[in-house]
Amino acid sequence: MATIVEPTAAEVADRSWRVFPAGSNGEYGVPHDLAVVIDRGRGCRIRDLAGREYLDFTMGWGSVLLGHAHERVMDAVVRQIVHGSNFAHVTTRSLELAERLVALSPACDQVRFCASGTEATLQCVRLARGARRRGGILKFEGAYHGQHDLGTTSLFGKEMRPWPHPEPLGAGIPDAESGLVFVAPFNDAETASDLIARHADELAAVIVEPLHRCLPPVPGFLDAVRAACSKHGVILIFDEVVTGFRLAVAGAQERYGVVPDLVAYGKALGGGHPLGAYGGRGDIMEIVREERLGGGEYVWTASTLGGNPVSCAAALAVLDEIEVPGFHRRLDHLGVCLRHGMEEAIADAGIEATVIGDGPLAQVVFRRGPVTSSREIWQSAPGLGRRLMLGLFARGVFLNPMGTKLYLSAAHDEQVIADFLGRFRSALADLVA
Ligand SMILES: Cc1ncc(COP(=O)(O)O)c(C=O)c1O
């Protein structure tokens, strides 16, 4: 029998760095000596091309909420794919999925599909601008809404400009676009409400990640933003790309009890397949109707792969699983185990840090808690975050070394978390050595 010779990690890294800038598709910024090419995954474990095994704590950046190669999702995909992958039209699967989204999402009278979270938030913003005939959008400092111009504005604070001045993330974004963005501090209801009131004539919408990166909203914050938007005729958009289907069946709307006017979905919905969705109030969604084309009150939407039947079949299987009673209770329990375990390890190591998050999400911030804003995170020790993440990576935990959030999935369990915590303790020990 022929022996399979696996390439060395260095050979794999060289191949990857030859064809991808920095050896990656833009995800992680992993140094050359840690470069990885994933070969396969099952549950919460993945294997790379050089034969190394990892515990996955990023799960396709949260898109694979049920775990890799989940039987029910695979089955649904295979059963659909033999009937065609894309028709760029309403199909049995997309119709069924749209009906289920409208039924489960309090904000949605109607929906449309796209292929990513970026498209979903972009369409919400354009819809709001079209409906209000204004260009201004207020976002919260540190929020990420996808890789479009608005989505990345003020994502990282270098200059910490005064509110509401935006900070472009890098080159390639015209000042004209940044000039339409108003920036407010998350979890500061007074400042946010005041900015909404002062700029109401310029603002089409406020867009918010209800769980801001990994920062939960303080009680009353989202309600205050909702109230200010309603009072001043500004559309409220929830970016539920992360929170949707993860914090509850109806996502952050259910978890935090606030209903927006428009909502963007992605990630977990497609079970690892390209799918996004946006929806909201019927009177706003109306303006995408194609018979209005050519008139002033019309907003263009189109997405070649949006709502393709394979992704929709996967999404229906995801919904079947997450609607099983107790699904989110178990995910929440795992999240609590992870955060408590990390906090204990941090205390034992004598390090000044806290763990933030909600549901099955966690992030270490190197300062004493409570932490409620992006500025507090940026003013902690981000260099330590990256060192810790790279330390975990080197110990066989697959995650995002930018130091952002860890994602659990339904395929994780207490045993896997205990295994992770052992590696976490060892990585922390390196930090203080
Ligand atoms: C809150 C939020 N919105 C939007 C996006 C963009 O989604 P996608 O990468 O699918 O375009 C992301 C991606 O990480 C996200 O975290």
Look at residue 401 in the predicted model and tell me its pLDDT.
79
Overall average pLDDT of the 42-69 stretch: 96
Q: Find out whether the beta carbon of 116 lies less than 6 Å from any atom of ligand 1.
A: yes
- Taking CA atoms only, the protein residue closest to ligand 1 atom 8 is 117
Q: Which domains does the chain have, with CATH numbers?
A: 9-69+325-432 (3.90.1150.10), 71-322 (3.40.640.10)
Look at residue 404 in the predicted model and tell me its pLDDT.
78
- Taking CA atoms only, the protein residue closest to ligand 1 atom 13 is 146
Q: Find out whether the beta carbon of 268 lies less than 6 Å from any atom of ligand 1.
A: no
Closest CA to 320 of 78, 62, 93: 93
Look at residue 27 in the predicted model and tell me its pLDDT.
63
CA of 146 to the centre of ligand 1 (A): 4
pLDDT score of 400 more than 80:
yes
Look at residue 408 in the predicted model and tell me its pLDDT.
98
Residue to probe by mutation, ligand 1, list 59, 144, 273, most atoms within 8 Å of CB? 144
pLDDT score of 1 more than 70:
no
Backbone dihedral region of 279: left (phi > 0), alpha (psi from -120 to 50 degrees) or beta? beta
pLDDT, one tens digit per residue, over 98-140 is: 999 999 999 999 999 999 999 999 999 999 999 999 999 999 9
Overall average pLDDT of the 63-67 stretch: 98
CA of 145 to the centre of ligand 1 (A): 6
Q: For 162-308, where are the alpha helices, taking DSSP H only? A: 175-178, 189-198, 221-232, 251-256, 282-285
CA of 173 to the centre of ligand 1 (A): 18
The confidence band for 8, taking pLDDT boundaries of 50, 70 and 90, is: confident
Share of the chain above pLDDT 70, in %: 98
Q: Find out whether the beta carbon of 48 lies less than 6 Å from any atom of ligand 1.
A: no
**Cβ atoms within 10 Å, residue 352:** 14
Contacts with 324 (C-beta within 8 Å, 6 or more apart), sequence order: none
**Can you tell me the distance from the alpha carbon of 401 to that of 393, in angstroms, rounded to the nearest whole number?**
8
pLDDT, one tens digit per residue, over 181-204 is: 999 999 999 999 999 999 999 999
- Taking CA atoms only, the protein residue closest to ligand 1 atom 3 is 145
pLDDT score of 214 more than 70:
yes
Q: Give pTM, 2 decimals.
A: 0.97
pLDDT score of 231 more than 80:
yes
